Structure 1
Amino acid sequence: MPFFSVIIPLYNKENSIRNTLSSLLAQTFSDFEVILVNDGSTDNSEARALEISDTRIRLFTTKNQGVSKARNYGITKASGTLVAFLDADDYWFPNHLEQLSNLYKMFPECGLYCTNYERFFNADKVIKPKHIDIPSHPWQGIVKDFFKSSYIDRIAWTSAVAVPRTILNEIGGFKTTITLGAGEDTDLWIRLALQYDVAFDNEISSRHVLDAENRISLEKTLKRSYARLDEFQEEEKQNPSLKKYLDLHRVFFAIQHKLAGNMKTYNFYMQSVDKTNIPLKAKLVMAMPVFVARKFYAFKKYLERKNILVSIYD
């Protein structure tokens, strides 16, 4: 039985899957299996993946049902002690699995193991996340307040986590009602963090690749089924950090729908938000007419192309 089962959902990533698999096979920790789930790709993703030959890789092909079902299908095929996830356009540095293995050895009772990551826009713009109340590098330990530490940038990012397989099966995996990358991972991390301790290694071991292919259009926003977050209402009444964490996500989801012209869904999310939890810059955007907000976001994207990153959430 391998120590890690690495699950990769694959959908139309012909330009990146070889690089992703190569980074996985270059790991210093080699006791793993790879479960590659081709989620009905319509390009040459599967052919590109098959160009990489390794006995640890198992390829499964399913009809297109979305990333949550693809990951859950991979979980049913997993046999490792820990399940790690890697998106087909992201990248692991050689020490990634070794760091996760060391975290597990240090803190074997945790339900979620996370390592630090970088956000890669291009060679001139690589951003390290900001985490609240996390000691300076190097540090490995139990996160005191998972939700507070994730206010600005998330502690748990999908391509930089591992979860004990038994716990994943007990908790039910990813919610399949959330579609097109609209919070299905966030929902799972919340459920895990409410029940288990979270271990974190502050050393960067993975790269989140952000390019034009990954950006969400306004049209796609209207097709997404976002995490509702209302299932955590009782927990957030007793947990101020969780309440603010959820409100920040509600504000983000609401603004996406405002930009897409869907004010009904915007109001649905905003009705649950404590106004004191809204960042000032987000309040300014929310006060703008839709056409002005769209112009603001177009200018924001222009600045990003000039390697100037602007966030309204910090």
Structure 2
Amino acid sequence: MPLFSVIVPLYNKEKSIQNTLKSALDQTFTDFEIIIINDGSTDQSESKALAINDSRIRLFSTENQGVSAARNYGIAKASGTLIAFLDADDYWFPNHLKQLSELYEMFPQCGLYCTNYERFYNPNKIIKPTYIAIPHHPWKGIVNDFFQSSYIDRIAWTSAVAVPKTVIDTAGNFKTTITLGAGEDTDLWLRIALRFDVAFDNEISARHMLDAENRVSLASTLKRSFAKLDEFKEEEKNNPSLKKYLDLHRIFFAIRHKLAGDVKTFNFYMQSVDRSNIPFKTKIILAMPTFLIRKLYAFKKYLEQKNILISIYD
């Protein structure tokens, strides 16, 4: 039985899947299996994956049901103690699984193991995340407040985490009612972090490929089913950092729906937000008419092409 089962959901990633798999196979820590779930791809993704011959790879094909169902199917097929996730357009540096294995050895009681990562837009724009209350020097340990540390950037990013399979059995799988990258991973990490400690290694070991093809984040807002976040209402009453963390997500979801013209869903999210948790810049944006927000959003995208990043959430 391997220590890691690496779950790779695959949907129309013919240009990136081989590079992604190669990054997994090149790990210095070798006690793992790779489970690829071809989620009804309509391009050459499956043949590209099958062209890589390695006994550690198993591939299963299903009808297209979405990334949550694909990951859940992979978990059901996994034989490893720890479940690691790798999206088919992301990349691991050679020490990634070694770092996760060391975290597991040092902190076996944890429910979530995370390593640091970078966001790759192009060779001239590679961004390192910003965390609250995490040391800048090389550090690995238990995160004191998972929610507070994730106000700006997420401590847990799907292609840089591992979860004991027994923890998933306790916390539950990815929700298939949340679709197209609209918070299904955030929802699961929330459920785990409320029950278990989270360990983190701040050395970068993975790369979030934001130049990749067919990213679900580019899907139309109105075609996506977002996490409602209302199941955490009781916990957030007595947990101020959780409340702020949830409110920041609600604000993000609300603005996306306002831009899409869905006022009803915008109001659904905003009605639960404590105004003291709304950043100053975001209050200004929320007060603007929709047409002006759209213009600002387009300008923000233009600046991103020039390698200038602006956030309204800090």
Give the TM-score of the pair, scaled to structure 2.
Answer: 0.98
Q: Deviations over 1:293-312 (max 9, x none)?
A: 11101100000000111111
Q: State which drifts further: 4-13 or 167-176.
A: 167-176
Q: CA–CA distance in 1 between the matches of 2:137 and 2:76?
A: 36
Give the equivalent residue in structure 1 for 2:211. 211
Show the 5 A alignment for 1:157-176: 157-176=157-176
Q: Deviations over 1:52-85 (max 9, x none)?
A: 1100000000000000000000000001010000
Q: Deviations over 1:185-216 (max 9, x none)?
A: 00000000000000000000000011274264
Q: Name the SS for the 1:168 alignment partner.
A: helix
The amino acid that maps onto 1:142 is: I
CA RMSD across the alignment? 1.0
Give the equivalent residue in structure 1 for 2:99. 99
Q: Name the SS for the 2:101 alignment partner.
A: helix
Quote how far apart the aligned CAs of 1:134 are.
Answer: 0.3
Q: Name the SS for the 1:195 alignment partner.
A: coil
Give the equivalent residue in structure 2 for 1:235. 235
Q: Name the SS for the 2:194 alignment partner.
A: helix
Q: CA–CA distance in 1 between the matches of 2:67 and 2:137?
A: 33
The amino acid that maps onto 1:255 is: I
Give the TM-score of the pair, scaled to structure 1.
Answer: 0.98
Tell me if 1:77 matches 2:81.
no
Quote how far apart the aligned CAs of 1:166 are.
Answer: 1.1
Give the equivalent residue in structure 1 for 2:56. 56
Give the equivalent residue in structure 1 for 2:260. 260
Give the equivalent residue in structure 2 for 1:145. 145
Q: Deviations over 1:73-107 (max 9, x none)?
A: 00000010100000000000000000000000000
Q: CA–CA distance in 2 between the matches of 1:165 and 1:215?
A: 26
Show the 5 A alignment for 1:87-126: 87-126=87-126
Give the equivalent residue in structure 2 for 1:245. 245
Q: CA–CA distance in 2 between the matches of 1:199 and 1:139?
A: 11
Unaligned runs of 5+ in 1: none
Q: CA–CA distance in 2 between the matches of 1:24 and 1:299?
A: 37
Q: CA–CA distance in 1 between the matches of 2:11 and 2:38?
A: 6
Give the equivalent residue in structure 2 for 1:300. 300
The amino acid that maps onto 2:258 is: K
Unaligned runs of 5+ in 2: none
Question: Percent identity between the aligned chains?
Answer: 75
The answer (yes or no) to whether the contact 2:181–2:216 under 8 Å persists in 1 is no
Q: CA–CA distance in 2 between the matches of 1:227 and 1:25?
A: 33
Give the equivalent residue in structure 1 for 2:194. 194
Q: Name the SS for the 2:234 alignment partner.
A: helix
Q: Deviations over 1:158-197 (max 9, x none)?
A: 0000000111122211111100110000000000000000
Q: CA–CA distance in 1 between the matches of 2:37 and 2:195?
A: 29
Q: CA–CA distance in 2 between the matches of 1:68 and 1:103?
A: 26
The amino acid that maps onto 1:284 is: I
